[in-house]
Amino acid sequence: MIESFESMTVALPETMTDDPDTDYPCISKPASSSKISAVGSSVDLKAIEGAVRTILTAVGEDADRDGLLETPRRVAKMYAEMFCGLQLDPGRHLEVTFQEDYDEIVLVKDIEFTSMCEHHLLPFRGVAHVAYIPNGRVTGLSKLARVVEEVSRRPQVQERMTQTIADLMEERLGSSAVAVVLKAEHTCMSIRGIRKPGSMTVTSSMRGAFRSDPASRAEVISLMNQS
């Protein structure tokens, strides 16, 4: 028996399922507005749509053909999502801490992230390992993952992303030792230019005892490398 058309579920490619009213994890779109707003700032979706149309025309496409009609709108929403971290203070997640007499390493490993290389606007994807030694107070473990997630949502280079996360942990946690290591594959190196898929870029930022004390540094790196 054939189901009625109304009750059939049609699987669409991911790019075709986006709901105009869907909120992104860290931004919200007021009803009847083309601008996505967050914390006193906004993303101008219409301006991005116009720019995407210009690019399509410039590469020789017909921006008015059926398959491309909705593309500028989708790409505008994608950029709003990928760059929503620009509107936020990721360090706010570290403001709530709990008193705890634990003064050894706290390490959260393999926090997956996707960011955008600011030189090519292509994604780089990988994992972050973040560690600190509490200064009498600890933060929630998921908060560290939230910081990585929000910092990743900006156009940037991996080096600066690493330092930004370390800065936030050092400043907001008042920790005497912070270690951040990022490992990522850059699509600007794998799908264009030198075309070396699989090559990984590793960056680190060591603060306090992890920078000055070789034994502490060796311990945290060893914990990060354990599987």
Using CB under 5 A, list all residues that contact Zn ion. Answer: 117, 119-120, 188
Tell me how far, at minimum, the Cβ of 53 lies from Zn ion, in Å.
24
Distance CA 23, CA 26 (A): 8
Tell me how far, at minimum, the Cβ of 201 lies from Zn ion, in Å.
10
Which residues form the catalytic set? 117-120, 158, 186, 188
Nearer Cβ to Zn ion, position 116 or 178? 116
Tell me how far, at minimum, the Cβ of 64 lies from Zn ion, in Å.
31
75, 48 in Cβ contact below 8 A? yes
49, 20 in Cβ contact below 8 A? no
Nearer Cβ to Zn ion, position 94 or 151? 151
Tell me how far, at minimum, the Cβ of 79 lies from Zn ion, in Å.
16
Nearer Cβ to Zn ion, position 46 or 119? 119
Which strand (E) or helix (H) includes residue 54? helix 45-58
| Long-range own/partner contacts, residues 36-39 (CB < 8 A, 24 or more apart) | 36/80, 36/84, 38/84, 38/87, 38/88, 39/87, 39/88, 39/89
Nearer Cβ to Zn ion, position 86 or 157? 157
Backbone torsions φ then ψ of 158, nearest 5 degrees: -60, -35
Closest C-alpha among 222, 43, 227 to residue 131 = 222
